[in-house]
Structure 1
Amino acid sequence: MEIKKVSIIGLGALGILFGHHLTKKMPKGDLKIIADLERIKKYETDGVYCNGELCHFQYVTPEQSGEPADLLIFAVKFDGLKNAIKAVKNHVGERTIMISLLNGIKSEAIIGQTFGLENILYSVAQGMDAVKEGNELTYDNIGMICFGEQEPGSISDKVKSFATFFDKMEIPYEIDPNMDKRFWGKLMTNVGVNQTVAVYRSNYGEIQKEGQARETMIAAMREVIALSEKAGIHLTEADLNYWLSVLDALSPEGKPSMAQDVEAGRLSEVDLFSGTVLELGEKYGVPTPVNNELYQRIKKIESEY
């Protein structure tokens, strides 16, 4: 299957980043941004900018019908996922491939409850240092998307089609035959960096240097390694070092999404990060004191908005 038509729902950091990139590579009209009428009016009035350039997006409402997308990208926040699933139904056909760029390890299963898992590719976005302020996004590193089938070791025709499309679009990617481990690695990283930078009210530079913030981040990540053993995933110190190398390559002035939420006075995805860790810790009988401390501190920050 050749991917020609793409729909994106969600114009947060990743939606803008990849959407803007695709507008430069795809014929006009083949990329659509799904949004409700109120959001569309705001986007068209204020504009959406990426690294100082105005994004030329084609917007469609959920009610508008047309030819199904070959590729549908979910780029919303986790708390907007259920509404997004309802909004994209007119863009889904029998052969539509779906990917989720959401944080956490739950979104694919939730999307699959509505559309089935057979057309979902498991994916992880990593290595980007995008910062969104209002209607403007800036980034130095586009990062990459890692993807594969849920079944370990499988490289399907769907995966090959996706790789061919990314080659054509010049989007960095990696095919991973063990996406379960990749998901847990990304969870480990988010649990560490998102929460630590948010609590320390800092940026990537703070956790890239030796000191208390970096120690806190690594301690939170090691709690996920302990949980992964119980879950049969078996993250190791080598995985921790790999993800630390990813973080150390980011722009020091950049900030993860949770830190941006805290600065803007928005509720964060803390329940998706340390909330998941605490839930798994209770399930497996594994102590998670660092994540508990981070959870309580972030909840306190949010209570003071």
Structure 2
Amino acid sequence: MERVALVGLGAIGAGYASRFVEAGIDLRVLADAGRRARYAGQPTIVNGRRYDFDFSDGSDGPADLAVVAVKRAALDEAIELLRPCVTGRTVVLSLLNGIDSEEVLAAAFPQATVLLAVSVGIDAVRENREVRFSSLGRIVFGEPANPGPHAEAVAETSDLLARAGIEAVVPQDMVHELWWKWLINVGVNQVSALIRAPYGVLQDRANPARAVMIAAQREVIGVANARGVRLDETDLDRWLDVLDTLGPQNYTSMAQDALAGRPTEVDSFAGTMVRLGAELGVDVPVNTVLYGLLKGAEAVQP
């Protein structure tokens, strides 16, 4: 496994792209003509270092690994960019927030190996084309249950990430990990976006916003259990331990979007929670309120 194609050069994508380049791995960043022109005019800076990434429209050969690091609203565009370079030998990793992007990618690329994946513990922040982070966290990935029928592809992907200096973990129950990451996002991303605050505010045990975050996450536990996914309070405690390791001055990606006046991922979080709650007969009052407030805030965005 040698060639990597990455779509999405935001905070998370740029952070991981910098590691691939530093390790000498053949990386192409896929983008349309307009973005390629903008990137050429304003190179990406990661932790103070300039990176002149190799940009492509995807037509210059197959990729061994395709990393998708866009927001949910840009997934369809990312799929079209990836079409020329995804083959039967390609492994696809989606780092999108939410619980359904892998299904969409698997439907688009039935010939490829689409693994479940989440990025945990990364605190990258982007301002224009400058990205900074104190922690890249780790990528947790694999088949729904590991080891599975694509164990060789999982092992090769793990080796490539290790060569890039990216911590990778392959759990036995990846479905659990996917929902655990969604539990994190439903709480911290939405509350931080609503109050437009960095991690430090939610690390403060005395701040009322922390209680709202936790209440939203407890609702995820209820919905997960109704779907047959075994989340419980120990998963919430595990998240709170991770929260304490993040840079207190850094912001979630959703808070960054809110501050910049960009659309947020509320539909992937509270929107999905409200829909699943209705389908499963699980009350989700906190997420119902978060959905209304965040959608209302977007509607009056200048």
Give the TM bin, normalised by the shorter chain.
over 0.9
1:184 alignment counterpart: 179
Structure 1 residue 233 displacement after superposition = 0.6
* Corresponding residue of 1:134: 128
| Structure 2: unaligned runs, 5 residues or longer | none
1:152 Cα deviation (Å)? 5.1
**What is the rounded CA distance, in whole Å, between the counterparts of 2:285 and 2:23 in structure 1?**
47
Runs of 4+ in 1 over 6 A off after TM superposition: none
Q: CA deviation at 1:167?
A: 1.9
Identity rate of aligned residues, in percent?
A: 38
- Considering only aligned residues, what root-mean-square deviation do their CA atoms show, in Å? 1.3
Deviations 1:138-185 (A, max 9, x none): 110011000111245537111111111122222111111211111111
Counterpart AA for 2:71: K
1:145: which partner in 2?
139
Aligned residues: 299
Q: Residue 4 of structure 1 aligns with which residue?
A: 2
Match of 1:121 in 2: 115
Equivalent in 208, 212, 218 of residue 208 of structure 2? 212
Q: Please list the CA deviations of residues 183-235 of structure 1 after superposition, one character each: whole Å capped at 9, or x if unmatched.
A: 11111110000011111221100110112111000000000001111111120
Structure 2 distance, partners of 1:276, 1:10, is: 23
User: Partners of 1:279 and 1:206 in 2: how far apart?
Assistant: 29
Report SS of the residue matched to 2:89. Answer: coil
Give me the whole-angstrom Cα distance separating, in 2, the residues matched to 1:80 and 1:71. 19
Question: Which residue pairs with 2:39 in the alignment?
Answer: 43
Other structure's SS at 2:242 match: helix
Distance 1:11 1:153 in 2: 31
TM-score, with structure 2 as normaliser? 0.96
Alignment of 1:247-262 (within 5 A): 247-262=243-258
Distance 1:91 1:181 in 2: 30
Q: SS where residue 141 of structure 2 aligns? A: strand
- In the alignment, what sits opposite 1:195? 190
Q: Which residue of 2 aligns with 1:23?
A: 21
CA distance in 2, matches of 1:23, 1:118: 24
- 1:53 equivalent to 2:49? Answer yes
Offset of 1:93 from its aligned partner?
Answer: 1.7
* 8 Å CA contact retained: 1:226, 1:286: yes
Instruction: Rate the CA distance shift 1:117–1:95 in 2: closer, same or farther, 3 A.
Output: closer
- Tell me which residue corresponds to 2:83: 89
CA separation in 1, counterparts of 2:171 and 2:112? 17
One-letter identity of the residue aligned with 1:267 = P
1:153–1:97 CA distance, 2 compared to 1 (3 A): closer
Q: With structure 1 as the length reference, what TM-score do the two structures score?
A: 0.95
